[in-house]
A and B are shown apart, each in its own frame.
Chain A
Amino acid sequence: MVEPVSQQVLAEIRRIAIEELEWKGAIEPQHDLLLDLQLDSLGLTVLAVGLENRFRVKLSEEDAVDLKTVGDLIRLVEARAAQSAEARP
């Protein structure tokens, strides 16, 4: 069985937060990136670049609009991944 993309993205966010950003708490989709995960601009950059590399997507600067929670980020990466899958022959 293939794991849904959203689960893979959540797993990757957890991995980056724990391994790269020394985050020790839980990470759930309803968590706020700034308030709950306490990410700063460095943390957001590390997370964005990490997700880009893992899922072969490009997150652009305007993606920050309306992006608040872990769930928002999962949906964004999922949508970008679907777009790039369509674009491939």
Chain B
Amino acid sequence: MKGPALPPPRCPTVSALLADVAKTPYGLIFADSAERETVVPWAEVYRRARRAAAGLARLGVREGDRVALLLPTSPAFMDGFFGALLAGAVPVPLYPPVRLGRLEEYHRATARMLQVTGASAVLTDSKVRLLLGPSVEKARPRCGCLTVDELMRSEDMHEVSVRPDALGFIQFSSGSTVDPKPVALTHHALMTQVTALDHAMPVPEGTPRVGVSWLPLYHDMGLIGSVLSTMYFPGSMVLLPPEAFLARPALWLRALSRHRAYISPAPNFAYGLCLKRVKDAEMEGVDLSKWHHALNGAEPVSADTLRRFAERFERWGFSARAMRPVYGLSEASLAVTFPPEGRGPRVLHVDPSTLAREGRVEPGARGLVSVGSPVAGFEVEIRERDGGALPDGRVGRVFARGPSLMSGYFEDVAATARTLTADGWLDTGDLGFVLDGELYLTGRAKDVVIIRGANHAPQAFEDPLGAVDGVRTGCAVALGFTPEGSEDEALLILAERAGTEPSAAVEEQIRAAVVAATGVRPHTVRMLEPGTLPRTSSGKLRRAESLRRFLAGELSAPKRMGTVGMMVEMAKSALAMVRAEQDP
């Protein structure tokens, strides 16, 4: 299925877009947890970026160099990001450390991301820099690690023009993982993506051109979906630090009301967090009636969350028709499909067991939410294992093609070849089906666990289990699943036992090891008999198949080999030995 034709982008590059939006009266509004706001007009963002670009050039950063950014949501982030772009370099936004979080894993992941992108400089603030010693020491960026303040000391301005096919930035396909992949996006890809977003989300008439986002800026939905798209519309964007939202979710809704904002994206869990933690008293005087595009993406969308959110916040003017469950992934820059505006969510009830066993859609009890049809310039196809296209209502792998796909994983030809086909299709690794021109997602073939909108490689959760004695070495899998009665994806650990320690005690140790290493708490830990987890012929664990069997209730211990079976095996083995000895 195909989306509408893509109008040509208004500007060829993100750098040109910044110069263009600098002529408008709009800008960025940084709000803090006390609801104080600092306005930085786009003209000022542009001026500061040219100063930062001069600083980077002085430092020795050359065109095409990667510049890593480890900065919180702040004007300094914009200086670093746009400064790198205007210097002709490629910004690489990475996640800054979490307060009170564990640092060892952080350093390991950060050092690796600096290394795989070959960052020539690291930009940060004075507080984070104190901590970066170990990461920077390992990666040794050529131009060093410095704060944005140091970069901005001179009044010089600098700006180079870049080609549309030059890299615009590199984003990582997963947040805090053992093996995150660097997704390389050209200026052209980014510009076509924001053009498609503009096409899918027109500004309603008589509404102030302003949006709100608390999403982290190292996340595709935060940077492309909130900041770059706002530059294109053009308009203003209110940015809240993610931790301020997590600590007090009402800040998000209050900011939407204060600015009469029409657009704001968030992962499903954020809507759930509002249901749980926003108090009526905090909503006094709040008006959500201008919120026209309530985007819900970056993790599986729950029909229940959508319904309950609309019911609860209707009192404050929120309309269920504003809810737009969307689908995208960092390899596509961001959006792949969008539902029509103003319709509200479409929920299809299917039979979960026919879906799991036969990959077929039959009416039933499980509510699946449509994520819509391809955005402008995109097409989507459902394919079976051998690559053939599947008809409507049949579950298969979701493939997508469009102008904003990544050019590849940065300097990783092999990984790119596994993901992008020669004729330009992206294997999303997601499973789903198409019905009546809309896409429904049913699961994932790729090994990714999505917790609160962040993608994690399963290894991040499996590696710490090596230190738990009661677990057979290398015989555990980490999976994402949506527990019965829950609305968000949660972490499932399936582990084969070793030794005789009681399961409950080992499960506790597993929980402790995982949360200490990753900050994520497993929802369910299941101890299994040795040999229960399915493996490939070469002995590798099959995660997706493990999950399928767990959900279908088919995880069972291998049959114990009886005496007769043992004798047969021994005889076979003896025969093989004799043959081997006879061969010259």
Q: Which residues of A contact B (CB under 8 A)?
A: 20, 22, 34-35, 38-42, 44-50, 53, 59-65, 67, 73
Contact = CB atoms under 8 A, between A and B. Distances in A.
B512 A67 contact: no
Given A22-B276, A41-B519, A59-B100, 13 more contacts: A34-B516, A35-B512, A42-B452, A45-B246, A46-B246, A48-B99, A48-B100, A49-B247, A53-B247, A61-B98, A61-B99, A64-B99, A65-B103
B131 A53 contact: no
13 contacts: A22-B276, A34-B512, A35-B512, A38-B515, A41-B98, A41-B518, A44-B100, A45-B100, A45-B247, A50-B247, A53-B33, A62-B103, A67-B100
A49 B33 contact: yes
Contacts of A73: 100
Contact of B100 (A20, A22, A47): A47
A47 B248 CA distance: 11
Nearest to A38: B521
Given A40-B515, A45-B98, A64 B247 contact: no
A63 B101 CA distance: 9
B246 A42 contact: yes
A44 B99 CA distance: 8
Interface string B316-336: 000000000000000000000
Nearest to A42: B246
Given A40-B520, A49-B33, A63 B100 contact: yes
Contacts, number: 77
B103 A64 contact: yes
Interface residues of B, number: 29
A60 B516 contact: no
A61 B127 contact: yes
B246 A49 contact: yes
B578 interface: no
B367 interface: no
A89 to B, nearest CB: 21
Interface of B: 33-34, 96-103, 127-128, 130-131, 243-244, 246-248, 276-277, 452, 512, 515-516, 518-521
Contacts of A48: 99-100, 243
A40 B520 CA distance: 5
Contacts of A65: 103
A50 B243 CA distance: 10
A50 B247 CA distance: 7
A63 B247 contact: no
Contact of B244 (A40, A49, A67): A49
A21 B437 CA distance: 41
B132 to A, nearest CB: 10
Given A42-B452, A45-B100, A62 B130 contact: yes
A47 B101 CA distance: 12
A64 B102 contact: yes
Nearest to B98: A41
Contacts of B100: 44-45, 47-48, 59, 63-64, 67, 73
Contacts of B96: 61
Contact of A61 (B97, B247, B277, B521): B97
A40 B244 CA distance: 16
A58 B142 CA distance: 32
Contact of A62 (B131, B512, B518): B131
A62 B133 CA distance: 12
B443 to A, nearest CB: 24
A39 B131 CA distance: 23
B33 A60 contact: no
Nearest to B97: A61
Nearest to B518: A41
B101 A64 contact: yes
A73 B244 CA distance: 20
Nearest to A59: B99
B330 to A, nearest CB: 21
Contacts of B452: 42
Nearest to A33: B100
Given A49-B247, A50-B247, A41 B33 contact: no
